Chains A and B, each alone.
Chain A
Amino acid sequence: MDARSETELAPTTNRTTTERTSDRELVVTRTFNAPARIVFEAWTTPELFKRWWVPKSLGVSLHSCELDARTGGTYRLVFGDDAATQMEFFGRYIEVIPHSRIVWTNDEGGEGGPVTTVTFEEKAGQTMLVIHDLYPSKEAADDGAGSLDGMPETLDQLDELLVSLGATAARS
């Protein structure tokens, strides 16, 4: 490791930043203390991917996870163990460049789904990860950003939030 005089302590935990960069775009960034090929591997290997994509705090299980992570390949994620309430997320990999870039569609929601671009930029043994969601319209982005991938629990929370926002807007 290079000895940089960072004022931030705890170099092992890097910060996640989230920004709505335009009406139609949401960008998440995070740096990892590992080379790009390792971070890339965790995004493209189903056994690894399923261990982190659904944080425990969401309270939903990832029932199955199929990733054919190559240009033109498809993916399919199924959430929930109960067949009646399962939710599916699927799409196509538009572009996969090993250790550098993954672009995919989110087709479960029809036309409103974003195109997600993930880039891995390695510098001095660290990898800067940028996740960029581009929605077809700002309405879809309003919806999508709040829906947090459409997880049932968070959708409920979103609804509560939106209702309270609506109430606030109506009052003022």
Chain B
Amino acid sequence: MVQYSSGRLDVSFAALSDATRRGVLERLGRADASITDLADTFHMTLTGMKKHVGVLEHAGFVTTEKVGRVRTCKLGPRRLDEETAWIERYRELWASRLDELDKIVEELKQKEIVNGRKKRD
């Protein structure tokens, strides 16, 4: 069951597992940027940022184009939808489960308050 497209998902998740790289995607979602812009925004060296962009590019989240001496980055053809849909299923289960738990917890809390009052009376 694992094989479907898990290799591809691995690359995606590895690419998205880093806060800076997620930040870069968010930034590129607003506007294209050069590596220098991105390095400045995230207070990194050019080399460090090149590495991050390389990982995102490999995963298909970003494409880059060199014009003259400037390498411009933009969001790639790959979107986050697949990954989001996948993790969203997991979130839905936990969200509805924990909503139910919340009700029980409230109920227990109320019971405790009532019992506490009874004891005092």
Contacts and interface: CB of A to CB of B under 8 A. Distances in A.
Interface in B74-121: 77, 82, 85-87, 89-91, 93-106, 108-109, 112
B104 A51 contact: yes
Contacts of A148: 89-90, 93
B93 A161 contact: no
Nearest to B95: A16
Interface in A1-54: 12-14, 16-23, 26, 28, 30, 32-34, 38-39, 41-42, 48, 51-54
A26 B90 contact: yes
Interface stretch (B2-10, B27-35, B38-46, B62-70): B2-10
Contacts, number: 122
A18 B82 contact: no
Contact of B82 (A34, A154, A165): A165
Contacts of B17: 20-23
B4 to A, nearest CB: 4
Interface residues of B, number: 37
A55 B104 contact: no
A142 interface: yes
Nearest to A142: B6
B108 A165 contact: no
A81 interface: no
Contact of B97 (A21, A53, A169): A53
A139 interface: yes
A42 B90 contact: no
B108 A158 contact: no
Contacts of A157: 89
A90 B87 CA distance: 24
A169 B13 contact: no
B91 to A, nearest CB: 4
A168 B79 CA distance: 12
A128 interface: no
Given A16-B91, A20-B17, A55-B93, 16 more contacts: A12-B106, A13-B99, A18-B90, A20-B13, A23-B14, A28-B90, A32-B101, A38-B112, A52-B97, A53-B97, A55-B96, A129-B98, A139-B6, A148-B89, A165-B8, A172-B60
24 contacts: A16-B99, A19-B87, A20-B87, A23-B10, A28-B91, A33-B105, A38-B112, A39-B105, A42-B101, A48-B104, A48-B108, A53-B100, A55-B99, A55-B100, A138-B10, A146-B86, A148-B90, A148-B93, A157-B89, A161-B86, A165-B86, A168-B5, A168-B82, A169-B5
